[in-house]
Structure 1
C-alpha cells in the first residue's frame, strides 16, 4: 500500500495571538537588555580610558575646558618699584637696600663686595663665589686716583649694609689700567679689559667703613 502525504496525519501548530504578543514582548526585553549591557560596557570603557589618560598624564585639553574656565585666577603681586636716579657724568643708580650703618664719605677707606656685568647682562666678575658663597671683599679708598670714578660716586653716601646697582658709562669707568677694582684671576681680568670701552653694570654692597 502506497503511503502518500495525504494519508499522513497533519500536525498544525497553532499559536494564540496572546502567545505571539508575548514572544514579541520577550524579544523587545531581550533587545533592550542587550542595549543596556552594551551601553554600560561602552560607558565603562570610556571611564577606564579617561582614568588611564589621567593616570598617564595625557589629558585632552577639551576635557578640562570647563575646569580651566572655572578655576580661580591667582592674584599677581605687583613688583616693588625701584626708582632710578642719574648722577653727574651719566651714572644711573638704583638703591636696592638702604643700609643702617655708618655712611661712606669721599676719602674714606671702604670694604665692599661687588658683581660686575656688561650692559647686556653678561657676567664678568664677582667677589662672591656663586657656587660656594665664599666672599673676598675689596678694600679701597674712595679716591679717584685709585678707584674708578663711577664706582666712587656710587659708594659715596651709602650706609653700611646698603646695596646699590649702577650703570657706569666708559668715561666714568676704567679710563686707565691702574684703576681698581680689578679681578686677580687672569680670565676675569682679561674679560674686563676686553669690555672697558662699553657701559658696565656694578652691584655693590657696602660692608664696612674703616
Structure 2
C-alpha cells in the first residue's frame, strides 16, 4: 500500500510539472480552477503507475546486482570475503567429541604416559568453570597426571591420548565418562572452583586442553 501511494505522489508531481507554463500561474477564477481540477481528475493514474513501476523495476533489476559489487566511494570492486576454516568434529570410541585445534609436534601421548597439560573447563552452555591459566595475570598452573582412567576422568584421558606436545584440542565430554566419582582428576585445589566443578559433574562439560610435556 505504501509503494502505491508513493508512486501515485511521484506520478502526480511529474504530471503537474509537464503542464503548460500558463497552467502553473496563480488562478483566481473559480471556473479556471474547476477546469484544472477536471483535467487532473481525467488523468488515468492507474495505467501510468503500472508503466512507471515496470520501468523502475527494470532499472533496479538490471543495475542493482552490478552496483552491489562496486564500492560506490572509490568505484573499485569489493573483495569477496574468504570462508572461515571449518574445524571438523569427530567422535572418539569412548563417547567424547573432539576438535583438533593445533596438531602439535613430536611424539604422541599414549595410555599410561604421565603428561603435563593446561586446560579450561566450561559448561555446555558456555559458562566458565575453571582454568589452569589465570585469565588476568596469565600465570599458569599446569596439571601433571597419568593417562589412567582410575586417576583421570575417562573422557579427558581419551582426549589426551594421541596428542602431540604443543597440540590443542577442544572436547565435549558427557557425564558418563566425566566425574563419575569425586576421586577422579583434574580437580581444582581452591574450594570455590572445586565446588563449582563438582556441582556440574552431572552435566556435559567442554574441555580445552593443551599438551605441554610427556614425562
Q: TM-score range by the shorter chain?
A: 0.5 to 0.7
Equivalent residue number for residue 152 of structure 1: 157
Q: Give the deviation of 1:186 after TM superposition.
A: 1.3
- Distance of 2:118 and 2:149 partners within structure 1: 18
Equivalent residue number for residue 48 of structure 2: none
1:86-97 matched pairs, under 5 angstroms: 86-97=91-102
- Distance of 1:202 and 1:68 partners within structure 2: 47
Task: Say if 1:191 and 1:69 are closer, same or farther in 2 by CA, change over 3 A.
Answer: farther
Q: Give the deviation of 1:199 after TM superposition.
A: 0.3
Q: Give the deviation of 1:101 after TM superposition.
A: 2.2
- Distance of 1:186 and 1:119 partners within structure 2: 22
Query: Which sections of structure 1, spanning at least 5 residues, go unmatched?
Result: 1-65
Say whether 1:174 aligns with 2:179: yes
- Distance of 1:75 and 1:131 partners within structure 2: 37
- Distance of 1:155 and 1:183 partners within structure 2: 18
Query: Which sections of structure 2, spanning at least 5 residues, go unmatched?
Result: 1-70
TM normalised by structure 2 equals 0.64
Which consecutive aligned stretches of 4+ in structure 1 deviate over 6 angstroms post-superposition? 68-71
Equivalent residue number for residue 115 of structure 1: 120
Equivalent residue number for residue 195 of structure 1: 200
- Distance of 2:183 and 2:146 partners within structure 1: 14
Q: CA RMSD in A?
A: 1.7
Query: Does the residue aligned with 1:102 lie in a helix, a strand or coil?
Result: strand
- Distance of 1:69 and 1:124 partners within structure 2: 49
- Distance of 1:108 and 1:88 partners within structure 2: 19
TM normalised by structure 1 equals 0.65
Q: Give the deviation of 1:71 after TM superposition.
A: 7.5
Aligned length: 145
Higher Rg of the two aligned structures: 1
Q: Pick from 99, 104, 110: which aligns with 2:104?
A: 99
